[in-house]
Each structure stands twice: as structure tokens, then as C-alpha cells.
């Protein structure tokens, strides 16, 4: 059941980033007790204006996966601090600093100037 629920949560995207909440590392806790599922999420920023929407989408996805007779609660921990290190490695690279166009131009100029 745990894998089914994680798969359902992986269908829920952070609308601003277009990346699912599991790959982003936003699922802090997943507890299954009897026929009750409790999910605790964090947002990429504590003041995320879409937290309620993401939480509601997560609840609906888990309810759909769990089926009738299950109770699903989703809570958002606004005190948790997210960082790219919590994301899957494939996703993490999207958050790495990329050189600006100016830095790239300077590097290209220096390579031409110094034959590198």
C-alpha cells in the first residue's frame, strides 16, 4: 500500500515548478495505520501560496489510490525548510546555479584570448 500511495503522490506536481512532490522531496512523512493514511508535506518555501492547492491535490490522489473506506489526512509543515538536497538527484540538477550569459561570454572570450 505504501508504494501505491507514493505513486499517487508522484502524480501531484508543484504547479510553479512542474515537478512532482515526491521527486522534489516534499513528502516529509507517510504513516499508514489501519485504514488511515496521514501524509505530511513541506513546501519549497514556507509561505508558498499554492500550499493549500498542493495539499488538496495530494489528498485527492491518495484517496483515489487507497479506495473506499480509507481516511486520508494531509498536513503541511510550514516550519520545515526545503533545500535542493532533498530532491531526487535528477531533479536536483535543475536547481544548480547556471552561469549567466555575461559569465559565459567572459569564459568564451578568455578561452579564445588564452587559447584554452
- pLDDT-derived band at 8, boundaries 50, 70, 90: very high
Domain 1-114 has CATH 3.30.300.130: yes
Q: What share of the chain is helix, strand, coil (3-state, %, to 5)?
A: 40, 20, 40
Which of 21-30, 33-42, 88-97 is the least confident region?
A: 88-97
Model pTM? Answer: 0.78
Residue 63: the pLDDT is 96
For 71-81, b where at least 16 C-beta lie within 10 A, e where not — what string?
ebebebeeeee
Domain spans in the chain, listed from the N-terminal domain onward = 1-114
Contact call for residues 88 and 25 (beta carbons, < 8 A):
yes
Contact call for residues 31 and 37 (beta carbons, < 8 A):
yes
**Higher per-residue pLDDT: 27 or 112:** 27
For 80-105, write each residue's pLDDT tens digit.
999 989 999 988 877 766 667 777 67
Amino acid at each position: 500500500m505504501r508504494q501505491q500511495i507514493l505513486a499517487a503522490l508522484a502524480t501531484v506536481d508543484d504547479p510553479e515548478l512542474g515537478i512532482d512532490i515526491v521527486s522534489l522531496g516534499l513528502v516529509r512523512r507517510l504513516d499508514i495505520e489501519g485504514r488511515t493514511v496521514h501524509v505530511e508535506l513541506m513546501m519549497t518555501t514556507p509561505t508558498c501560496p499554492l500550499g493549500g492547492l498542493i495539499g488538496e491535490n495530494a489528498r485527492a490522489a491518495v484517496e483515489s489510490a487507497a479506495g473506499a473506506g480509507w481516511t486520508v489526512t494531509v498536513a503541511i509543515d510550514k516550519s520545515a525548510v526545503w533545500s535542493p538536497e532533498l530532491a531526487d538527484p535528477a531533479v536536483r540538477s535543475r536547481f544548480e546555479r547556471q552561469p549567466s550569459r555575461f559569465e559565459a561570454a567572459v569564459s568564451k572570450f578568455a578561452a579564445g584570448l588564452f587559447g584554452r
